[in-house]
A and B are shown apart, each in its own frame.
Chain A
Amino acid sequence: MTRAVLQALAAHWRRNPLQFFTFLAGLALATALWSGVQAINAEARASYDAAAATLGEGRFDQLVPRAGDSFPQDTYVTLRRAGWQVSPVVEGSLRTDTGRVRIVGLDPLTTPGALSPVGGARDIDLNSFLTVGVLFADAATADRLAGLPQEVVRDPSVAPDTALTDVGVAQRLLDRQGRLSRLIVAPDQPLGLPPLDEVAPGLTRVAAQSGSDVGQLTGSFHLNLTAFGLLSFAVGIFIVHGTIGLVFEQRRGMVRTLRTLGVPLRRLIVLMTVELLLLSLLAGGIGVVLGYFVAALLLPDVAATLEGLYGAQVSGGLQLRPVWWLSGLAIAVLGAGMAGAGSLWRIARMPILASARPRAWAMAAGRGRWLQGGAAVLLLAVAAGIALADAGLIATFALLGCLLIGGALALPLILGAVLALGQSRAKGVIGGWFWADTRQQLPGLSLALMALLLAMAANLGVSTMVSSFRLTFIDFLDQRLFADTYVRGIDSERMAGIQAFLQERGATVLPLLRVDSRLAGVPAELMGARIGPAYEDNWVFVDARPDAWAQVAAGEAVIVNEQLARRAGLWLDDRLDLGGGLRLPVAGVYGDYGNPLGQAVISEARFAGVFPDETPRQFGVLGLDPEDLRSVLGDAFDLPPGSVVDQSSVKAFSLAVFERTFTVTAALNVLTLAVAGFAILMSLLTLSAIRLPQLAPVWAMGLTRGTLARVELIRALVLAALTALLALPLGLALAWVLLAMVNVQAFGWRLPMYLFPLDYARLGLLTLLAAALAALWPALRMARTPVSQLLRVFANER
């Protein structure tokens, strides 16, 4: 009996190959985008974990300098002599022909646990590690270090763009002899240790964390990606839901017959569930394979984004990790289950003699519209409540979910009302029929239209956010890059000489002193600047005291960037500990878009007081032509051309980084819109199969097939246009949430919102084009429907 029932179930798919394709394609596309995003996230997290494991971040307590980015090696010796079980680390970046590589120097004799790559199964002996110098790096990084005199061992477990070596070798490579970056504290320490403040007052102890700094910083970015993946998945599931609903309704007659013939209802439900499970595994498998390609395509851009926004290094290669392909299969089964549960429930409750009504699914959708309206109002109200409460990042994503789902649920009701209005105002007979017939088609098309609304709103909202960000960023670059030329990357002796040389020629020189530090407990950079009219005229504050610049210039206050202010909960007049006993009130908060780190600026004199050994690493020059400057400095100080950069080049580079940062967002936007276009195509094709009995009488009364095809095309365009109009307010609301809430919580800055009417018009036209293309095939099918097929509708013996 089971075999016979399965044959009967499979026969439906054989008779309706288009439905079979729609189901598989819809679910596979949904799974592809979801598992693609999961693959990217898994790869990035693996890279963070590798970095944390390599560098000891998060696993052990560490001693770091209270100010600055290094301390004398003698401090380490003092601590060891006092009994502290600590291990030295030197880190810094080494410039290669193809960018920078992070060099991490460890001491294999004192490093706790499995941090050191030496020993174990590896063939490198301790002697050569300590004497000759050996570096460990992954294959890609090893290739970039091929020019070094040291041997480079390929080790896939080392984090991307990072090389491990002995602490002494690292000091030589980084030109940091006698300096250390931090100390790793072994978990087991002897009793009776002298307090750290006594032995090494310049160091502070940072407790081990559950995750690395970079993992925490990038969490919001991955949450963003996951949300996008989930949105794409939801769009795909709309296709599957529509198809499953239709398939089950069309099978009602068969179900009734099978039950009449003695198949128990329970057996039937079980077999239909098994069928759904097998099909969803098949579609999920296809989706996971597609997802792999999506991820492989997007990963390089994601890696660039993460480096640009957070300074996080992520491998550009993709590995097959069970976590994402299993989650892909699971979500395919879950999605199909969600889409099919309602239909299975209806079959289970259907009386054995219930009549088979092929259009009952559409009618049922119409009956539930008030329930749907109530849910929409509730969700939108919840979204408004969360917005007013201004809660955390997770709550803000819940807000986005409520907003989008509420908007999508409200769509059919609003469209129904508009179409009813159109019908009441229609003049001609075909116009009246058009509006009435479109209203009747609405339940069958509403899922696809909801998918289109979601895709459009997401597109509109994200593009508004990115474009607003771009405008703000360009404005910000104009403010911040006010010097004509920047000189950087030179040793301290020459820097001092260059400054004097330029000042003699009447140029305004603005040195920038900088140390990496931790301010108010968060990673940050402390800057010392020569405050003057250039700063006062160009920098724009988010919030500041009226005499902020004067206070900073006098060494009486500090200004901080928005990220640091929000992360550390600082605002005007709060006092910030800057290290070295310096504690100043905050006089201003400035926008610092695109910088992953917190930042604080004090006067040059104050900075020199706290860090007397620090010399400027770069300075801006005003009043001299960049080309002349490059040539003069090149001749006088033997500077490489890359050390003197004009303002426009810096801006162009920064903008290029910015554009690449949002490539992945743009790609996901396009993919989601493409899935929505596919949803419309499949819905129209599915509907066209059951439309013939409705259109044949109109044809019989004197409308040509060509006219009917044109009407079908216009219908799709009208519905897409109405959906696009409704997507506008929803997309703008989404943009506002992204700019005013998500950005603040995820990146630490709030951006102003700009409107881009031309972009919206272009997106609207693109949507109409997509709808027209999607409707073209069903319309052509209508125009070419053989007369015999239309007549079959009227055949008495059909």
Chain B
Amino acid sequence: MLLQVSGVTKSFAGAEGPVPVLSGVDLSLDLGQTMSLQGESGSGKSTLLHIVGGLDTVDGGQVLFDGRDVAALDEAGRAALRRSDVAVIFQQFNLIPSLDVSDNIRFQARLAGREDAAQVARLIETLGLGDHRHKYPEQLSGGQQQRVAIARALAARPRLILADEPTGNLDETTAAEVLDQMLALVGDTGAALMVVTHSPAVAARMDRQLHLRAGKLA
């Protein structure tokens, strides 16, 4: 099993004491599988995604990634996990503004030490970014920026891809196109995919659909 989450709890400091966000979450995900995570705003789905990706830490419970306890890793260990095994696709794209399209796509792959020029070229071609490779993020539309973010995630050939509302900032047509391309490419790499979404249409495209309600899986 690539990912095993058991009894994870997390709370944030509030004005009147700690506010629980996750209250004992269990789930698992294996290579090649896709999963959606739905829930109302504030239900804890983004927090869970961040914990799984080594961006945030747990208060209790266990997150095993390929048998390693992510909660036991220090900051450097979690950074190494993010560099080599996990890629995150954000709703706000979060590209690096100082790098052009080509460099943005290669960036995480180079950090992971897995840059493959042929694969990068293929991704650029497949995602229709050929004419934009020397442009900077601010010169691209939202759909183009999200395609760059997807290419960046896939170019690093991670084993787990996390996507937080990947189509939330896009119009319906563009969102459908981007989702198709993302699922096809993820399928090709054999990576596991966890998508946080409000959209039932997006969730329906995943192998499994989970719902978070008040910090627990429903």
Contacts and interface: CB of A to CB of B under 8 A. Distances in A.
Interface of A: 363, 428-430, 432-433, 436-437, 439-440, 693-694, 696-707, 787-788, 790-791, 793-797
A171 B110 CA distance: 93
Contact of B96 (A428, A694, A794): A694
B168 A796 contact: yes
B56 A791 contact: yes
A672 B86 CA distance: 50
Contact of A433 (B76, B90, B96): B96
A702 B79 contact: yes
A694 B97 contact: yes
A794 to B, nearest CB: 5
Contact of A701 (B46, B82, B91, B168): B82
Nearest to B75: A704
Given A429-B111, A705-B75, A794 B94 contact: yes
Interface string B60-98: 000000000000000110011111100110111011111
A262 B96 CA distance: 38
B141 interface: no
A432 B46 CA distance: 31
Nearest to A795: B46
A433 B107 contact: yes
A797 B41 contact: yes
Contacts of A697: 90, 94-96
16 contacts: A363-B138, A429-B111, A432-B99, A432-B103, A433-B96, A436-B98, A437-B98, A439-B98, A697-B96, A699-B79, A700-B53, A700-B88, A705-B75, A791-B50, A794-B55, A797-B41
B107 A440 contact: no
A436 B80 contact: no
A82 to B, nearest CB: 89
Given A429-B107, A794-B164, A437 B96 contact: yes
Nearest to A434: B98
Nearest to A788: B12
A702 B108 contact: yes
A509 B55 CA distance: 90
B20 to A, nearest CB: 15
A700 B87 CA distance: 9
A700 B82 contact: yes
Contact of A703 (B56, B79, B92, B106): B79
A719 to B, nearest CB: 15
Nearest to A440: B98
A704 B98 CA distance: 19
A796 B110 CA distance: 27
Contacts of B82: 700-702
A432 B79 CA distance: 19
Contacts of B56: 787-788, 791
Given A432-B103, A702-B83, 13 more contacts: A429-B110, A429-B111, A433-B99, A693-B94, A700-B88, A701-B87, A704-B76, A787-B55, A787-B56, A794-B92, A795-B46, A796-B164, A796-B168
Contacts of B36: none
B94 A700 contact: yes
B153 to A, nearest CB: 9
A234 B57 CA distance: 48
Nearest to B84: A702
Which 7 residue pairs are nearest across A and B when measured between Cβ atoms?
Answer: A702-B83, A429-B110, A440-B98, A697-B94, A436-B98, A702-B82, A437-B98
B94 A796 contact: no
A400 B206 CA distance: 70
Interface string B27-58: 00000000000000100001000100101110
A354 B176 CA distance: 30
Contacts of A788: 12, 56
Contacts of B90: 697, 700, 794
B175 to A, nearest CB: 14
Nearest to A436: B98
B83 A701 contact: yes
Contacts of A796: 46, 91-92, 164-165, 168
B113 to A, nearest CB: 9
Nearest to B13: A788
B57 A440 contact: no
B160 to A, nearest CB: 13
Given A433-B98, A788-B12, A793-B94, A700 B55 contact: yes
A51 to B, nearest CB: 62
A427 to B, nearest CB: 11
B46 to A, nearest CB: 7
Contacts of A702: 79-84, 108, 111-112
A705 B76 CA distance: 9
Interface in B90-137: 90-92, 94-99, 103, 106-108, 110-112
Nearest to B156: A701
A791 B90 CA distance: 11
A166 B84 CA distance: 96
Nearest to B113: A429
A271 to B, nearest CB: 32
Contact of A698 (B87, B96, B110): B96
Contacts of B46: 794-796
Contact of B55 (A693, A703, A791): A791
A129 to B, nearest CB: 81
Nearest to A797: B41
B135 to A, nearest CB: 14
A704 B106 CA distance: 19
Nearest to A793: B94
Contacts of B41: 797
Contacts of B87: 701
A423 to B, nearest CB: 9
Contacts of B79: 699, 702-704, 707
A798 to B, nearest CB: 8
B6 to A, nearest CB: 22
Contacts of B80: 702
A307 to B, nearest CB: 57
Contacts of B92: 793-794, 796
A433, A696, A700 interface centre (most CB from chain B within 10 Å):
A700
Nearest to A432: B103
A432 B98 CA distance: 10
Nearest to A701: B108
Contacts of A797: 41
Contacts of B138: 363
B97 A440 contact: yes
B1 to A, nearest CB: 23
A787 B99 CA distance: 24
A764 B42 CA distance: 53
Contacts of B106: 429
Contacts of B98: 433, 436-437, 439-440, 694
B111 A701 contact: yes
B67 to A, nearest CB: 20
B51 to A, nearest CB: 10
Nearest to A706: B75
A796 to B, nearest CB: 5
A635 B106 CA distance: 94
A704 to B, nearest CB: 5
A362 to B, nearest CB: 10
A679 B55 CA distance: 34
Nearest to B92: A794
A761 to B, nearest CB: 32
Nearest to A702: B83
Interface in B149-201: 164-165, 168
A428 B103 CA distance: 12
Contacts of B111: 429-430, 701-703
A433 B108 CA distance: 11
Nearest to B107: A429
Contacts of B112: 702
A645 B123 CA distance: 89
A699 B83 CA distance: 9
A363 B111 CA distance: 28
A363 to B, nearest CB: 8
A706 B75 CA distance: 9
